[in-house]
Chains A and B, each alone.
Chain A
């Protein structure tokens, strides 16, 4: 042990402390005891330490009253506990604290889950839309002015007066430039998924449009005119509808033009033009025809009168909500003996289209039934008025 144990030298404080504490090593214990027996000074220090740390409280006893107090306190606490013993489910808490805790947590989780399910905000349906751009004054959408950057959704009807234009865009690249006077409706604009192209189907009842897909395949689109259906496959072309005729002037790509009456299909390639009247005539477009695509402003201002059909003034169409579709060339009779008779549809006319289809195939849609009912009522009214007039004319 360091600095300790020679008879000649005295015991250090540390060694003495450890000796008294009983933590000195056994081999040193005997030597320290020997030294204490021989050295008076160290013996005195040892005695002083022993006296200093001698027990002073071990002889003290707590009174008997202390035990009585403790037992009485126990009884009082027991009474309090009885008075505060919870009933019902709360009584389970002291006995099954973990089970109650687990149950409470499960209940809370269920409540939170139910709240989340019940009160979650409705999932916003992302409806595809066309964005309006470069809109001239006077352009109307659904009987109100169309403004730049306005969203054009499915079912919208756009009317352009003379010498006005507007552009509708979808994403990057795809655009439709409308030149007035024109009547244009977006019959279908829907998305089947993020990876699928948007399905767009429009009706150009009259007027001019220049369609440019911009090389993108994000939109699968088709146009209907009163006399034809145009199904492009990624192109830039002009489409005009005027006086029952349809004109297609191709710049790039190609389109399939389907004659409305005969259902004849022709493909119009780049640098060609197609006039659809009684039938679809495809011819090579002149260089002047292709200059149409250079400036939409010139086209709007009537600079290409000879290259296009003569624009007709706007015709008010009350049936804009009704999509303009090419008539079915062949329709099976639903009733009849042979049931295989074919009916050749009349020349396409927007006004009597619905009535004709209803006559042939029966009212297939609620809108058609409604129209039929209105027509019937009008007819009854007309007959009633005629009867009144005749009655007045008849001399008494």
Chain B
């Protein structure tokens, strides 16, 4: 899987070190593979060791280089450790891609305090912690890029995603703040995925009655006429990670097949 058909005649991340959280599956894994194909050494962080090991194996099979690091990003010490592990192994850090997240659904009035705290910790505070830990390295090496994964649900009002939507919307503002505060040395951007056909998405579908019909209906609302693929998102992440996007900072890039244009 050499990823998306963008500019891959050229290696866009030669010698860069990229840390990607949640890269043991889905979008994070696709990005890890694509980044490695483009010459980056990839720090594959996940709470799921098996997934992370598999990702490293996949990129090594392609001649890439990477290492797996176990971390639960909802734990602040874990987040500090993952950044330290990256710098210890590779001596630098160029790209921080905060992709891991939890997704719990439920109306605001039904959301428990526990679910709220976990969602805010994993999807918002974790990114703050990771940036705080990584920034000194990104600043030192110059040309650093932070990529944070929000969601369409962080851009629009929806129903049934109280804590998730709030965390993702907060993340958009946090990212803009990073762009303003740490430019010119560091750029920071948001990817806002719509409906991406990843293992997570499949898991949600399993619990959805009439899943096939639901997906058909969904497809019809998406201007490009299909669900997204993890590789579609990885292509955007590659652009944002590389110097190709040297003049892009504080941006929110939808990965949603045109869905945002409807909203």
- The answer to whether A and B belong to the same complex is no
Which residues of chain B have a CB within 8 Å of any CB of chain A?
none
Which residues of chain A have a CB within 8 Å of any CB of chain B?
none
